Amino acid sequence: TELKEIGNYYLYVTLHKQNYKPKSALINLEILSRKFSYALQPGKIVDGIMTIENGDAIDLSISLDDLTRNISLQNATVSMSFQNTNYTFTEGGSGSYSVNIDDYTPLDEDATSETATTTIIISKVNFTTQIIDVTILLNNRIFDSTFSEEFVDNLVVVISGNRLTFDVTLENSNDQSLITDAIITLSISNQTYEGLVITNNGDGSYTFNFGTSYPEAFTASTTLSGEITIQKTYYKTQTIPITIQIKMTEIFPGVPTFYFILITAAVIGIVGSIVAYRVIQQARIPKHVKKIRKVKSLIKSKKKIADIASVPSKKEMLAKIFGADWKTIGLEIGDSLGLKDIKAKKISMKEKEPKEKKIKRVKEVKAPKEKKIKKEKPVKEKIEKKKSITKKVPEEKSAEEKTPKTEKKEKGEDE
């Protein structure tokens, strides 16, 4: 006998025997297909959708049972197709079949997900072939990034001259596993920023160390806008906008050095101009006016009027102007104008001193008088020499011989 395929058949049966009347019968035969049940791996397919992370193998298993005889179904053929490639399940015994697909084309780094519809076909002779529709959702892996406290809304602030460093920690958004081998770059104005050192700490964190390589901000604050790019195989490339605000160099906390210099220079300039103005105005005032004003202020304040504050007399001014001319001819203009007597009067106007001090003063004053007398002799000798010179003039000789009295008058005038 041989197994017939599923379908309807007619059997014509003839019975005969010697000495018996032959008989025949028509039998209608229907060969039915056997049925089986299947069970997919729990949790793998939910509502006909199988979710796979990009790069993960499509690992699927299925078990088959013969419902007719209530035993596991063996020697069945189970297959599926994905990305235009057919894959056959491997029988593992006891009615279990599995497949592992790891050679499919992964998603592009810029893609988020991809959806594909496939069918699992289960077949066996004398069994009804079953087809299972499955939707495979291939998701790209996503980064979860956490920046250190220096970052606030993707903004980091640094004072010019200070070191700039911050950290970022990367995790898988699906299972929160740490990512230790990502590729991170920073670009400013679409160009890779040079001078930046990014250190992989091996624990899912990465340190950005700018040092002081960023632009200086002395006269005005500067802002750098760029992007941090994070890449890894089977992950969607993540681009994070970043703004670095470089504040002006500060001499004190909150006080920019440049503004401090400007304010200081302005203050010095204003004070200097005021002082210069006052000096110029004071220079324009005559000295005797200044002295008069000083005397007035001393009188108002009821203070003693010092000699310095007094205004020079006419004789003193004449002595100051023509004194040098008189000295060239060996004469003292002060003696002729009587300035010595004026000085003596000023001395007498000083405050009265105790008697003991007066006695000492008298003794001290007497000694210089003698010296003055001695000093006056050479002056008279000079006058006599001058007279002798004048006698030599021819015109004056006759006048001197005739009138000797006139010599005395001339002597008096010269004195």
Q: What is residue 110's DSSP assignment?
A: T
Burial code (b: 16+ CB inside 10 Å, e: under 16) for 249-264 equals: bbeeeeebbbeeeeee
Whether 140 and 51 have beta carbons less than 8 Å apart is answered as no
Inter-residue long-range contacts of 29-32, CB under 8 Å, 24+ positions, other chains counted: 31/4, 31/5, 31/6, 31/7, 32/6
Crossing angle, helix 339-348 and helix 314-328, to 10 degrees?
140
Note the CATH number of domain 36-139.
2.60.40.10
Pairing of strands 90-93, 96-101: antiparallel
Which is nearest to 49 in space by CA: 122, 117, 120, 113? 117
Q: Which amino acid is at 81?
A: S
Q: How far apart are CA 256 and CA 260, in angstroms?
A: 6
**pLDDT score for 177:** 92
CA atoms of 352 and 61, how far apart (whole Å):
131
Query: Same CATH topology for 36-139 and 143-248?
Result: yes
Place of tokens 């001090």: 357
- Map out the domains of the chain as residue ranges: 36-139, 143-248, 256-284, 354-392+407-415
7 Rama class: left (phi>0) / alpha (psi -120 to 50) / beta:
left
Find out if CATH 2.60.40.10 is the number for domain 143-248: yes
Q: Is 230 exposed, middle or buried, given 0-12, 13-18 or 19+ CB atoms closer than 10 A? A: buried
Instruction: Write out the two tokens for 265.
Output: 């220079």
Largest CA distance in the chain: 229
Sign of CA dihedral 178, 180, 182, 184: positive
Low-confidence ranges of the chain (pLDDT < 50): 1, 309, 351-380, 386-387, 389-415
Distance CA 81, CA 59 (A): 13
Specify the DSSP element, H or E, that contains 282. Answer: helix 257-284
Contacts for 173 with CB less than 8 Å, ≥ 6 apart: 141, 142, 143, 144
> Which residues, listed in sequence order, are joined to residue 97 by a DSSP beta bridge?
62, 91
Nearest CA among 117, 170, 126 for reference residue 145: 170
Could you give the CA distance from residue 238 to residue 142 in angstroms, rounded to a whole number?
Answer: 8
Distance (Å, rounded) from C-alpha 365 to C-alpha 347? 11
The Cβ of residue 158 has, within 10 Å, a number of other Cβ atoms equal to: 19
DSSP per position, 32-77: PPB-EEEEEPTTT-BTTEEEEETTS-EEEEEEEEETTTTEE--S-E
Nearest to 234 by CA among 112, 101, 317: 112
Q: Collapse the DSSP code of 140 into the 3-class scheme (helix H, G, I; strand E, B; otherwise coil) and give the result.
A: coil
> pTM to 2 decimals?
0.55
pLDDT at 252: 65
